[in-house]
Amino acid sequence: MNLLEHLQWRYATKKFDSTKKVSSNDIEKLKQVIQLSVSSYGLQLYKVLIVENPEIREQLKPVSWNQSQITDASHLVVFCNYTEATSEAIDDFIKQTAITRNQDLERLNGYGDFIKSKLAERSETEKTSWLKSQTYLALGNLLNACAELKIDACPMEGFESEAYNQILGLDKQGLNAAVIAPIGYRHKEDYTIGLAKVRKPMHILFETV
């Protein structure tokens, strides 16, 4: 199983080689992988920013605990959840489904109403948590794809979300920076290269019931 080999190879890269860049071809592959990610109801209520601009990344570094990955990696991927699950977003999804699958829109509207009713049952706190958690599903796909392409990545929550929202203009778009992942290629001086993975033993992590 090649996936196991890829996952053994990857690690949360602490120091990137700033001279090495991910090719545009590989970036397109990663975008397709993210696009194909699963999400609740298939809604994909998030947007993904791929930040290349060095000036913007310099602005983001201080609000990312001054971690070098922000500026040294080839690209910075920012997963942003929408702050609301609007009726319009659900209607758009239903319309897209009808077009993509060549189905009757009227017959799909009931499913849209079902989604709206289930989301209406959640508290605002629950909806906020649910919206943010969707981005982590896409993040997982990105990390696995990077490992297969031998592109290094470092998923990070160590940043000031509100500052990101302001710098990147996310507030105006109804978006929130949920989780980030610098991607690129490991520096040979990264002190974490080759460290054994620390994971729970199988007999503790899993239980068959």
Sequence spans of domains, the chain: 2-83+135-205
Say how far apart CA 47 and CA 8 lie, in whole Å. Answer: 29
Residue-level pLDDT at 104: 96
Q: Are 27 and 75 in contact (CB under 8 A)?
A: yes
Q: Which residue has the tokens 């991607």?
A: 183
- From residue 18, give the alpha-carbon distance in Å to each of 2, 132, 144, 181: 28, 30, 22, 15
Cα 27 to chain centroid distance, Å, stands at: 14
What is the crossing angle of helices 24-35 and 124-148, to 10°? 140
Q: What is the 3-state secondary structure (H, E, C) of 28-84?
A: HHHHHHHHCCCCHHHCCCEEEEEECCHHHHHHHCHHHCCCCHHHHCCEEEEEEEECC
Given the candidates 3.40.630.10, 3.40.109.10, 3.10.129.10, 3.40.50.300, the CATH classification of the domain at 2-83+135-205 is 3.40.109.10
pLDDT, one tens digit for every residue, the chain (209 residues): 799 999 999 999 999 999 999 999 999 999 999 999 999 999 999 999 999 999 999 999 999 999 999 999 999 999 999 999 999 999 999 999 999 999 999 999 999 999 999 999 999 999 999 999 999 999 999 999 999 999 999 999 999 999 999 999 999 999 999 999 999 999 999 999 999 999 999 999 999 99
Pairing assessment for the beta strands 75-82 and 46-51 based on DSSP bridges: antiparallel
